[in-house]
Structure 1
């Protein structure tokens, strides 16, 4: 058995290569062009643990889908505003998602910012969003505030990606209530596994009480290093626990991600030939193939 540089294995030259998840390594076809756009499928990228690649995945998956002709709206729903900054958007003197949540009469199209990437728009966030939970707590149907805010723009896009904060609080519940699906980025590190059961329980509660149609679109392994036994063992445990819900695409660990963030660009534009950029393009193809994205 041989191991490739990207962690795929083969048993012979004639057999299908096996990917890091232990399943056949599919290429996934290039998505066909769309005849029209909308209505959007809304997907939250959610994990209450920080530093697992939610923002990186939101930025680069959005750019990859946009590269395949999908109209994408990326919603920064984290008071840190890292996704907005990662796309080069200054948020100090412009309306943000916070303004949409608090003013039900505001036109959401006024808050949408066009990014440098073709087909990719953003609803930005800044530190003001940290006060949203306090303001929303006494609102009627407070869990549906984001759903209401997105209602006026979702028809213009093929997919809306929501970058959630590392918490299971009211903002995350809002995101899950507004979403059709959830992608769970999961760092290939032992302690990242510990909180996933709590997150799945939260998704189940939202499905039971607020949003019966929400589905788990996939668990995405991130920061994978095929050279370490630890990464390989964690990924094996993730596949054992979630089976086919684990996406076949695996995102490797690389210093190119912070470099791209500093430049305010997705890695698909900062270093388009890099393995990490190709991984996110493959992720976009996989999600289209799975039916999670049109």
Structure 2
């Protein structure tokens, strides 16, 4: 994770200033849980592709599992990148698509375990791309994912939904099922432009379908402190969203695609790397904010 350790806080505060302009905090390691569930459901959403949604879902899920949380990662993108990134084979077995179309199917039968202790996956593959066509005439079509997840919410502490890069019916299903939204935002100008439309969609879902949904935070990703552009975009994000911008910032590194090829979270692939430490810090920050138990 990138940070500016050379800048100190005001009025004698010797804490370094982080990339978001606030004093850098490490956040305490969360206490172990005495019991598990019911899960808080968080959708990772941004209609722009390539901003780090899947990378964040995988590595945040693994980081929370490392801190003793039981985590279910839901692959809700027909590309199936989350499943592949965790080494899950999706060609022959049942997937989230089957659960959406068959209300009698047991969600637990589709869940697959990963090599990370405490982290399970609801996998997806290209079949999911046909789901919107099949669901469009269903009664209460926006709530079908909520029904699927309700069956297993008591088994987990947090459920993370990796949304596809669109604002279609699948994404609306994810938002309707969720308690919170985490927006990964690439530190690049064109990524910033579409956030207003996403916030508008979240507001509509809150107004019409899910009054309890809240914004858990905006996560700056692919940050490169060496470029003026990255620094300026992050500054504008903080101006626009204030304290909703998470203090943790995810830097740009070639380790992410290397870990994906290996089918492992970066916390397992390169645990000492700054990117792995950044995601562990993100997990601690979300616990400290109350977004995760």
TM-score (norm 2): 0.98
SS in 2 for 1:105: coil
Give the aligned partner of residue 140 of structure 1: 139
Please say if residues 9 and 19 of structure 1, whose CA atoms lie closer than 8 Å, have aligned partners that are also in contact: no
Give the aligned partner of residue 272 of structure 2: 273
Do structure 1's residue 189 and structure 2's residue 188 form an aligned pair? yes
Please say if residues 47 and 184 of structure 1, whose CA atoms lie closer than 8 Å, have aligned partners that are also in contact: yes
Alignment of 1:219-234 (within 5 A): 219-234=218-233
Q: Hey, what's the Cα distance between the residues in 2 that align with 1:261 and 1:241? A: 32
Please say if residues 71 and 156 of structure 2, whose CA atoms lie closer than 8 Å, have aligned partners that are also in contact: yes
Give the aligned partner of residue 30 of structure 1: 29
Alignment of 1:207-286 (within 5 A): 207-286=206-285
Give the aligned partner of residue 7 of structure 1: 4
SS in 1 for 2:203: helix
Give the aligned partner of residue 291 of structure 1: 290
Give the aligned partner of residue 149 of structure 2: 150
Q: Hey, what's the Cα distance between the residues in 2 that align with 1:259 and 1:249? A: 22
How far has the Cα of 1:155 moved from its partner? 0.7
Unmatched segments (≥5 aa) in structure 2: none
Q: Hey, what's the Cα distance between the residues in 1 that align with 2:18 and 2:8? A: 12
How far has the Cα of 1:146 moved from its partner? 0.2
Alignment of 1:46-57 (within 5 A): 46-57=45-56
Alignment of 1:80-159 (within 5 A): 80-159=79-158
How far has the Cα of 1:11 moved from its partner? 3.2
Q: Hey, what's the Cα distance between the residues in 2 that align with 1:14 and 1:24? A: 8
SS in 2 for 1:150: helix
How far has the Cα of 1:122 moved from its partner? 0.2
Going from structure 1 to structure 2, the CA distance change for 1:198 and 1:275 (only over 3 Å counts) comes to same
TM-score (norm 1): 0.97
Please say if residues 3 and 17 of structure 2, whose CA atoms lie closer than 8 Å, have aligned partners that are also in contact: no
SS in 2 for 1:182: strand
Please say if residues 19 and 249 of structure 2, whose CA atoms lie closer than 8 Å, have aligned partners that are also in contact: yes
Q: Hey, what's the Cα distance between the residues in 1 that align with 2:2 and 2:93? A: 45
Q: Hey, what's the Cα distance between the residues in 2 that align with 1:11 and 1:223? A: 24
Tell me how many residue pairs correspond in the alignment: 291
SS in 2 for 1:51: coil
* 1:82-138 alpha-carbon deviations (Å, 9 max, x no partner): 000000001000100000000000000000000010000000000000000000000
Q: Hey, what's the Cα distance between the residues in 2 that align with 1:67 and 1:287? A: 14
SS in 1 for 2:74: strand
Do structure 1's residue 58 and structure 2's residue 57 form an aligned pair? yes
How far has the Cα of 1:290 moved from its partner? 0.1
* 1:171-212 alpha-carbon deviations (Å, 9 max, x no partner): 000000000000000000011011000000000000000000
How far has the Cα of 1:16 moved from its partner? 1.4
How far has the Cα of 1:15 moved from its partner? 1.5
Unmatched segments (≥5 aa) in structure 1: none
Q: Hey, what's the Cα distance between the residues in 1 that align with 2:212 and 2:133? A: 28
Give the aligned partner of residue 164 of structure 2: 165
Q: Hey, what's the Cα distance between the residues in 1 that align with 2:157 and 2:239? A: 32
Please say if residues 81 and 126 of structure 1, whose CA atoms lie closer than 8 Å, have aligned partners that are also in contact: yes
Going from structure 1 to structure 2, the CA distance change for 1:11 and 1:35 (only over 3 Å counts) comes to closer
Please say if residues 2 and 19 of structure 2, whose CA atoms lie closer than 8 Å, have aligned partners that are also in contact: no
Give the aligned partner of residue 18 of structure 2: 19
